Structure 1
Amino acid sequence: MSKKQQPPAYGGQALIEGVMFGSRDHTVTAIRRKDDSLDYFYVPKEHKPMSTKLKKIPFIRGIVALIESAGIGSRHLTFANERYDVMPGEEVEENGEETSKLAMVIGVAAVGVLSFLFGKFAFTLVPVFLAQMLDFIAPGKTAQILLESFFKLALLLIYISLISMTPLIKRVFKYHGAEHKVINAYENNLPLTVENVQAQSRLHYRCGSSFLLFTVIVGMFIYFLVPTDPFWLRIVNRILLIPVVIGVSFEVLQFTNSLRNIPVLKYLGYPGLWLQLLTTKEPEDKQVEVAIASFNKLLEIEEQGIENVEILKSTDSKMEETTVPVN
């Protein structure tokens, strides 16, 4: 079976001046430094028995995967944010302050998870109140759910549009496009050159942006199955159903990804791709170079093992992450 026929094995995340790619066991980031050099960051994926079992259960596995990716992604985001605009050698050293590295990692991961949950609560509950305020215009369960879903989609689009106007986020969205282009080139069995990668689409079926849109659509159908009155019960239902919506939306995302090469059925994933027109931008060649470097480093680790790759392992077993400039 060719790589193109195999289920995708790699995912990624756009960062500030960089891209993170991950596989089942490893995550690697490459960022562009202030002096134009590249810097790497490595974090292994831990497979705890409980989470491994949970990730085999449909509808539960999506929640577990999202929490884990939020935690790991926060560490990569922190690395990129602290180093992208600093000249090599001018990094702030923590020598002299015996702050626990393990505590720092746990703290960063917790912030990532809490930020995700806060955002999910906000985008779930605010539309409920907005729809209720217009109950005199759109009374009844069906009208209220449709109005609530409309507000949820509108808030999502407005939020993305507003943040995309900032120069920093514009560049992150370009790296997001570069990330997708590299994955698409790899899945099409093309050599990872800048020319080949730039020729690929900046959209991808498995993107987290598609997942966000699916939570709106899936949530709307699930809400039809529960009561909307009285209002307090509606609020309780929305909160309790957050993990259900997340779990079902993850399965829908996986399902549409499996259909992307089937005529007619591939269009089921198009709404998510349309949203990616906002969350991705066409990258510059130098941004594509960063994405290729990150992905190649991940492949190198996959093939040779981290102990044989030029990313110097930390002597602190509690913090298995390191950086090294490109040779």
Structure 2
Amino acid sequence: MSTNERDLIVGGQAVIEGVMMRTPNAYAIAVRKADGTIVNTAAALPKWSDKAPILKLPILRGGAVLLQSMGLGIKALNYSASEAFAEAQEAEAAQIEVALTPAVIEGEGDFAGITGGVPGLFPIPKKKRSKDELKKGGTAAAASSIVFALIFNVLLFIAAPLLLTNAIFVAAGWAPQAAQNSTATAGKDAGEPPAEMPALRRTWNSVRGYLHPVRPTVGFNLIDGLIRMSFFLIMIIGFSLLKDIRRVFEYHGAEHKTVFTWEKGLDLTVANARPQPRQHPRCGTSFLMVVMLVSILLFSVIKFDSLLFNFLVRIVLIPVVAGLSYEIIRLSARKESGAFFKLITRPGVWLQNVTTKEPDDSQLEVEIEALKESLKLEPKTSEPELAPLS
């Protein structure tokens, strides 16, 4: 392998019983099936910026890369679920005598990947479908999964922290006008005879005082960010207790070990990958920490006296926050030994003690195969650049 080829920055994503590995212009997904064999699929991955040159501009390119990565990640999860549980699904289908209206289709549907394709959770139609039908269903499943993920993340990581922070500031008296209004509202409610006001309305009037808009400051956004990160940590730690998710975290660790092996110029073998660290500074968890910091600073400048507007601006500026965070990682990654890069990625490296687990040799084999397959499709003339986060 030439030095120029080794300059390529690779990344990936752990999936069910496997991994998706990416180079700047290609990707490959490798999965270990129930019978122990490894299957893979690989393809070139044209950049969106090749079709729309405007997406090469700073900030815009970050948003484009992340959206493309999200779509590819959902596709990889659907593929891994269908392959990892294919034999179990076929065995289950063989026992079913009644053809079911295909609300849930073999290896697809809104629940594929979310449930991990657990056999027996839904009956599986025995009838095999054409490749065109499978492709169409897979596209619909990927689209619906992305929409669900976006709505879930908006509610959990934007709406809930914003409302809680607003309520904390009102309750603590850090927003004098809001506190006075809240007290006045509460006093008015207290004087109302219970019989003259329905319980639901009394409850709403009590809650409404805490929803009085607080103009965000750096302190407001800092608490908002801490609440958001607390939700994330609770979710990740909870997931880590599940056996199937722990397997995904082991593949996550194997992915990092394989990336380190590549970056150090070593042959891609299990023996070389085994001793490598399982925490990598360019992991997506490091990116999330940068996103939180950028959000705190940006929304301390762009702020409104309306709670609704403060919520909407956080949604509208998601691509801007992502783009700025991507540029920070991109610039700092050019010198990974630098103090700034180490500073902004250190919290993410700490968090990887939860999101990665020590893999076994069989998992390393899957990671290595995926990377080798993606490298086969990488043009020999590729310029070194920042590939997706590992």
TM-score range, shorter chain: 0.7 to 0.9
Mapping of 1:235-254 within 5 angstroms? Answer: 235-254=311-330
Partner of 2:143: 110
CA distance in 2, matches of 1:94, 1:10: 40
SS in 2 for 1:260: coil
Q: Which runs of 5+ in 2 are unaligned?
A: 92-105, 107-125, 176-216, 381-390
CA distance in 2, matches of 1:131, 1:211: 23
- Deviation, 1:200, is 1.0
The 1:115/1:202 distance shift into structure 2, 3 A limit, reads: farther
2:108 is aligned with 1:74: no
Root-mean-square deviation (Å) = 2.7
Contact 1:257 1:269 in 2 (8 A): no
Partner of 2:12: 12
Partner of 1:154: 230
Partner of 2:86: 86
- Deviation, 1:105, is 4.2
The 1:160/1:126 distance shift into structure 2, 3 A limit, reads: same
- Deviation, 1:49, is 6.0
CA distance in 2, matches of 1:84, 1:243: 34
CA distance in 1, matches of 2:68, 2:308: 32
- Deviation, 1:261, is 1.8
In terms of mean alpha carbon deviation, does 8-17 or 162-171 score higher?
A: 8-17
Partner of 2:39: 39
Contact 1:21 1:29 in 2 (8 A): yes
The 1:285/1:52 distance shift into structure 2, 3 A limit, reads: farther
Contact 1:71 1:112 in 2 (8 A): no
Deviations 1:90-149 (A, max 9, x none): 596864558545533432332343244224312122100111111221625343222211
Contact 1:177 1:281 in 2 (8 A): yes
- Deviation, 1:64, is 0.9
Higher share in helix: 2
CA distance in 1, matches of 2:232, 2:141: 25
CA distance in 1, matches of 2:355, 2:51: 30
CA distance in 1, matches of 2:50, 2:377: 26
Contact 2:42 2:374 in 1 (8 A): no
SS in 1 for 2:62: helix
- Deviation, 1:86, is 3.4
TM-score (norm 1): 0.83
Pick aligned residue for 1:219 from 295, 299, 312: 295
Partner of 2:386: none
- Deviation, 1:266, is 2.8
CA distance in 1, matches of 2:144, 2:89: 28
SS in 2 for 1:298: helix
Mapping of 1:214-293 within 5 angstroms? Answer: 214-263=290-339, 266-293=342-369
SS in 1 for 2:86: coil
CA distance in 2, matches of 1:288, 1:111: 31
Contact 2:13 2:20 in 1 (8 A): yes
CA distance in 2, matches of 1:107, 1:301: 27
Partner of 2:214: none
- Deviation, 1:282, is 1.2
Deviations 1:267-286 (A, max 9, x none): 33212222222211111111
The 1:87/1:296 distance shift into structure 2, 3 A limit, reads: same
Amino acid at match of 1:139: W
Contact 1:29 1:40 in 2 (8 A): yes
Deviations 1:164-216 (A, max 9, x none): 11011111011011111101110100111212101111122222222222211
Q: Percent identity between the aligned chains?
A: 29
Contact 1:51 1:64 in 2 (8 A): no
CA distance in 1, matches of 2:241, 2:52: 40
SS in 2 for 1:35: coil
Pick aligned residue for 2:241 from 157, 162, 165: 165
TM-score (norm 2): 0.70
SS in 2 for 1:87: helix
Aligned length: 303
The 1:89/1:149 distance shift into structure 2, 3 A limit, reads: closer
Deviations 1:273-319 (A, max 9, x none): 22222211111111111111111222234379xxxxxxxxxxxxxxx
Q: Which runs of 5+ in 1 are unaligned?
A: 305-327
SS in 2 for 1:224: helix
